[in-house]
Amino acid sequence: EGRDEPYGFRGRRRDGEVVEVEVLGSRTDVDGEPAIIGTLLDVTARNRGLRDLRESEHKYQALVEALPVGILESTTDGRIVTANAAWRRMFGFEEDEDLRNVDVQTLYAEPGDRRAVIDGLRTDATPPAAETVFRRRDGTLFPVERYLRTVRNAEGEIVAGGTRDCLARTDG
């Protein structure tokens, strides 16, 4: 008795509709003769939902990358989860650079400010926009307008934020 790997195919129903089918089967013996017990599952809706989700994720990622403001998601302990191209440029990082070892706290002009931000987010999940000073990778300080909020995922709290470089901003 053994299990075969599931496989899929596209089929056509009697009414002509094309469906996606997943086949699950296992080998067995019936009255001493080899046999296969199997199930056919119509997975058309599931696969459509997965395709729609992937398309939605790609659209969201393209939108975030196209924004002129820096977008950053980090854990409450300061690990970077994602950063868009504008954020990377603003802080002096390469577009394809691995940011997993960058401690967000080191990017604050005053490292203690990060702890104050996290503590503040615990009492107000969406604080008002604020101007603050950050440190670029090369050490230069620059003012930004910062927007923050806390979101929860399966692993815990994520701090999501947007930043606009006040020096690059134009009035007009």
The predicted-structure confidence for 83-133, as pLDDT tens digits, reads as follows 999 999 999 999 999 999 999 999 999 878 888 888 888 877 677 888 999
Using a pLDDT cut of 70, give the percent of the chain over it: 95
- Runs of H (alpha helix) within the chain: 44-66, 85-91, 112-123
Cβ proximity of 166 and 146 under 8 Å: no
What are 81's two structure tokens?
């989860």
Question: pLDDT tens-digit profile of 55-67?
Answer: 999 999 999 999 9
